[in-house]
Structure 1
Amino acid sequence: MEIDIHALETYQELAHDGARSAAASLSQLTGISTHVQVTDVSLMSSTDLQYEFIGNEFAGVSIDLSGEIEGEAVLAFDESGRKAITDVLVPADDPEMKKSSIKEVGNIMTSGFVDGWANHLSAKIKSHPPTYIEGSGTDVLPKSATDSEKHLFVFRSRVEASKDSVNEPVDFRILLVPESDTLARAFEPQTEDGISVEKLEVFNDMTKEGAEKAAANITSMTGIETAVNISRLSLVPIEDIPAEVGHKRYVGTVMEFEGVLDGYLAILFDQPSGRAVVDSLVPMETDEQWGDIEQGALKELGNIMTSGFVDGWANVLNAEIKHTPPQFVADVGSSIMSPITAQIARTDDHAFLLDSSIETNSDQVFTCQMLALPRRADLERALEELLVENSQNTRVDPDDLF
């Protein structure tokens, strides 16, 4: 199946407008102020989608859709979001009334989200009666996300809400997982410039393979056992990318790559993880937190991680990709990404963001995010050349390509 990227951008913008409508409905119903942080459309394996929800409690609604858009929409509040809403709407301690209030709010918000799609298509999209969902992690995910072999296009919106009586921001997530037939109709290319979904799946999987090699390099150099937990390919408005990374403080490296693909790669450790990496690489105590010795250690690790990550692309695309020496960075995530997105924004208003999360399975706290931003025209051209020259690789296991 091939898709029109411009159509995908349009639907991403519709999803963003739908999220704003849903957020406005929440504010009107509860008085809780809201702000849409980011909306993206991601191609990811169902396994990676499931991992995002593991370990957290959610409540919300699931709604089946039929008509021009078929699939399942899920609106899920995290625990603090659920409590903030029910405390306003149902002050009394009545569990059934609290469930009913979440169901009503979720139904109204999801309807606002879907209506924009129907208006754009000038077609009817039927929302079936909502089903109340509550549970831990994957209990609240769409049914289609339980097939571990499947790749999904997921429209995700993250909306931050705040209320005077809540100490921390609370959020909710809107997931729309369309059926494949719906995707084929909605994103059918109007010209010969379509992109193969199978090629995108392979590119996403080989990116995860590269991230796994980078994780293995961390382990071999530091002794810290790591694994790749999430890898996804998202189409995101350039202006939203800093918000994707957020305001957490990071330390790491940024470098530019060029060749068949041009773009940028950021390797970002949260502060405790960066310190753990440096302590394992530098067998001496230093007086500075991020002095020349510490920066040099992270640059060396970043250089090796980047090589393992980018080489996988080069092997599959049968072309050379070089990268510049790593530049040390230490700042909040959005500030690190802003100069990168400013460069990409000179030619594009949307970008493909490749996001891989490396964590440890042990008790030690460790988080590393690898964020790749290839220039979109280069990625589209590379995928087209792969389609022509290596079409036998479009539906194979990415492990066989390395």
Structure 2
Amino acid sequence: MEVDIQSLETVNQLASEGAQRATAMLAQMTGIQADVEVTKISLTDRADIGEELTGHELVGIDFDLEGGLVGDTTLVFEAACTGPIVEALPGDGAGDGMIESSVEEIGNIMMSGFIDGWADFLGTTIEHSPPRYVEATGADVLPAAEDPAEQVFVFKNHIEWPGEDLSFYIYMLPASDRLTELMSDLGTGGDAIPVDKLSVFNDMTREGTRKAARNVTEMTGIETRAEVTQISFAPVEDVPKQVDNRPCVGTAVEFSGTPSGYLMVLFDEESATAVAEALMPMEPDGEGFTDMHESAIEEMGNIMTSGFIDGWANVLQTSIDHTPPRVVHDMGRAIIDPLAAQVGQHQEHAFIIESRMQTEDLEFGCEIHALPDDAELRQALAELDVERSEETEPDVERIFE
């Protein structure tokens, strides 16, 4: 089954408009004017969905979809949201015993707003089940995965409540076969992307991330593992929003070949300091993040980038080169914004290849974000030999040249 860029853009827009309708319904009921911050489609392992919810106390309103669209959709509220939302309902509000039913009512009306646009566009009927109320921590608020290793498409809307440090989300997990049929029907036949090869490319990214994590472990002694990999599709202007807006240190490179694009290795400041000092043969000379720290991060970024990209080149049987790494130290979105602007000069939507690494040894966070040229990514996928998907061993001589 193949999908094209236009169909991806169409369903992404439908999800965005659905979230806008849902938040409009919330505003009508409560007066709360929430903003849809990010809408994206991601291909990822089912077990990795909701990873960004880790550690949060949450309330979920879960629905089954049937008819023109089949699958699960969950509205996810931070637990701290429910009280203010219920209190904002007209009338006398709800007592403690009525919070659950009130939140279910809000979720039911928001869900109707979310799916109405899909049904209208598809010219069909989409039914949803009665709401199911769930209280849980982290990703447990989402429906249990039948096959955690299965790669699935997920639509995620991140919605923020201005003036409050609170967020809520809409996750839609459509049945994969029905979604790919739908996108195939919506497509024009041009710019086609084989879905099975996109899954293989995601596997390549996962293996590249594992190699990058092993490089961190071998060079620093910090036991590091790959946590999440996914390929997302979003409007170019939303690309910087994929990154937490916190201070980051890392490297940025431009890579050329098939595909070409940009790649960033980003550490949070504390992790960057720990990794850099683990590489240093002596104590840093000076306070704060010194030139010695920057040099160490540049070295680490070069090794991680080379191993990550070489895995692609070996499987794709192509040549992919990259510029020397440039050390970046800024807020996460400020780092990615100019690179997204470069990509946006010739395309309105972008694929974002994302992976994360973690360690149990210390507070550590590292993310890899790649922004490939979509036309060249399509070419690479068209030429991809699926049987070579395991051949991701990097060229050691090239890495250390």
Distance 1:351 1:304 in 2: 26
**C-alpha distance 325-95 of structure 1, shift in aligned 2 (>3 A):** same
Q: Is the 8 A contact 2:314 2:391 kept in 1?
A: no
1:244 to 239, 242, 245: 242
Aligned to 1:170: 166
Aligned to 1:360: 359
Q: Is the 8 A contact 1:261 1:375 kept in 2?
A: yes
Calculate the TM-score normalised by the size of structure 2: 0.92
Q: Aligned ranges for residues 200-215 of structure 1 at < 5 Å? A: 200-215=198-213
Provide, for residues 269-314 of structure 1, a one-character-per-residue CA deviation record: whole Å limited to 9, x for no partner.
Answer: 1111111112212222222533332211111100000011001101
Q: Aligned ranges for residues 45-56 of structure 1 at < 5 Å? A: 45-49=45-49, 51-56=51-56
Shift of residue 400 of structure 1? 6.1
Q: Which has the larger displacement, 49-58 or 1-10?
A: 49-58
In the alignment, structure 2 segments of 5+ residues that lack a partner are: 394-401
Could you tell me the percent identity over the aligned residues? 43
Q: Aligned ranges for residues 133-282 of structure 1 at < 5 Å? A: 133-143=134-144, 145-163=145-163, 166=164, 169-188=165-184, 189-191=187-189, 193-282=191-280
Q: Is the 8 A contact 2:4 2:190 kept in 1?
A: no
Q: Is the 8 A contact 1:51 1:229 kept in 2?
A: no
Q: Aligned ranges for residues 22-33 of structure 1 at < 5 Å? A: 22-33=22-33
2:49 aligned counterpart, secondary structure: helix
Shift of residue 93 of structure 1? 7.7
The answer to whether residue 337 in structure 2 is matched with residue 338 in structure 1 is yes
Q: Which has the larger displacement, 102-111 or 374-383?
A: 102-111
**C-alpha distance 370-246 of structure 1, shift in aligned 2 (>3 A):** same
Distance 1:139 1:94 in 2: 26
Calculate the TM-score normalised by the size of structure 1: 0.92
Q: Which has the larger displacement, 197-206 or 187-196?
A: 187-196
Q: Is the 8 A contact 1:42 1:234 kept in 2?
A: yes
2:55 aligned counterpart, secondary structure: coil
Aligned to 1:128: 129
Distance 2:92 2:290 in 1: 54
Shift of residue 55 of structure 1? 3.0
Distance 1:285 1:192 in 2: 55
**C-alpha distance 82-257 of structure 1, shift in aligned 2 (>3 A):** same
Q: Is the 8 A contact 1:232 1:356 kept in 2?
A: yes
Q: Is the 8 A contact 1:142 1:177 kept in 2?
A: no
Q: Is the 8 A contact 2:257 2:320 kept in 1?
A: yes
Distance 2:88 2:191 in 1: 50
2:251 aligned counterpart, secondary structure: strand
Q: Aligned ranges for residues 278-289 of structure 1 at < 5 Å? A: 278-282=276-280, 283-289=282-288
Shift of residue 79 of structure 1? 1.9
Aligned to 1:103: 104
Distance 1:6 1:139 in 2: 33
**C-alpha distance 102-263 of structure 1, shift in aligned 2 (>3 A):** same
Distance 1:75 1:248 in 2: 26
1:142 aligned counterpart, secondary structure: coil
Distance 2:191 2:238 in 1: 26
Provide, for residues 12-69 of structure 1, a one-character-per-residue CA deviation record: whole Å limited to 9, x for no partner.
Answer: 0111111112122223322333111110000000121154444332212111111111
**C-alpha distance 253-9 of structure 1, shift in aligned 2 (>3 A):** same
Aligned to 1:305: 304
Distance 2:319 2:308 in 1: 13
1:187 aligned counterpart, secondary structure: helix
The answer to whether residue 76 in structure 2 is matched with residue 76 in structure 1 is yes
1:84 aligned counterpart, secondary structure: helix
Distance 2:390 2:382 in 1: 21
Distance 2:92 2:215 in 1: 53
Q: Is the 8 A contact 1:60 1:102 kept in 2?
A: no
Distance 1:315 1:301 in 2: 21
Distance 1:184 1:232 in 2: 18
Shift of residue 137 of structure 1? 2.7
Provide, for residues 178-229 of structure 1, a one-character-per-residue CA deviation record: whole Å limited to 9, x for no partner.
Answer: 1123213211144264211111111011101101111111111112121111
Q: Which has the larger displacement, 5-14 or 370-379?
A: 5-14
Distance 2:250 2:212 in 1: 14
**C-alpha distance 51-28 of structure 1, shift in aligned 2 (>3 A):** same
**C-alpha distance 83-205 of structure 1, shift in aligned 2 (>3 A):** farther
2:118 aligned counterpart, secondary structure: helix
RMSD of equivalent CA atoms: 1.9
Q: What letter is aligned with 2:381?
A: L
